[in-house]
Amino acid sequence: MKLLVFDVDDTLIAADKVFRQSTIDSLNERLALGDAIAIASGRPYIGIMQFLNKLAPGKKFPIAANGAAVYDEAGHCLDSNGLSYADFLTFYSRHKRILDFGGSMYCYTLDAVAYFEDSYFINFEKNWNGLAGRDLRENPLKSDEPILKIMVTFNNGRWDTLKVGEDEMKKFHVIRSDPRFLEFMNPAVDKATGVEFLRKYLAIAKEDVFCFGDQGNDVGMIGSYQGIAMDNAIPEAKKVAKFVTLSAQEDGVSYALHHFVK
């Protein structure tokens, strides 16, 4: 059995956001062979299941919030390593000024996107990922309650207004998952840590783990296993990859599964 792990945006799907039937067919071929398929994404469980539900029955696992939580298909959390709501409150208080420059701050709870001020990106999370919203002014969390990650977003490129301190760089694992998104996570968490938990859970050898991706938050898992970078990937991902496949637009996932995964 092999473990095949996929990023979503610009890997499984291209800029048109269409999950192509050719890609679905290629993944179903691997499920029929008895391989396990995981999607490792910054998305929450429910957002990942929108894609896994399109596949045939088989061994399917969501690795959510860039590795902060690993689930089985039924939604049972197998492993979780996040932050606390107190971490978000401290971060929010320190960086609240970015709201005046078009920035947005929110966090992922285990089942919702939580925020003090609504924004374009919070509505994006609700609509695209199917997440419930939680207005923290009306429905606050307890300080020790878990969250999966803190999100900072800009749609206007004003990253110069976010001043991340050295203490925060040590406290968090900071991931650039998209030019518009910066994610602050538990320093022990990465997509690669989620993949490693699942690899051990399924008792699969490292040489039988294939990870597909294109962005900075994929570099760790691409470099740690049989990594496959998309042709549209950033240079850092291609540098650590074992293989470089076609672009997402050209269904590079199917090409790699037919040519690189024996």
pTM of the model: 0.80
Write down the mean pLDDT value for the chain.
94
Q: What is the CATH number of domain 83-185?
A: 3.30.1240.10
Do the bridges between strand 69-71 and strand 132-135 make them parallel or antiparallel, or are there none, so unpaired?
unpaired
Domain ranges in the chain are: 3-80+189-259, 83-185
Query: Residue 162 is encoded by which pair of tokens?
Result: 């976010």
One CATH from 1.10.10.1150, 3.40.50.1000, 3.40.50.300, 3.40.190.10 for 3-80+189-259: 3.40.50.1000
Q: How far is CA 255 from CA 89, 166, 209, 227, 237, in A?
A: 45, 42, 17, 14, 18
State residue 189's pLDDT score. 87
Q: How far is CA 100 from CA 17, 105, 158, 231, in A?
A: 31, 12, 10, 37
Stretch 37-42: mean pLDDT, rounded? 95
Whether 3-80+189-259 and 83-185 share one fold: the answer is: no
Reported as a single tens digit per residue, the pLDDT across 111-134 is: 789 999 989 889 888 887 778 899
End-to-end CA distance of the chain: 11
Place of tokens 């637009």: 249
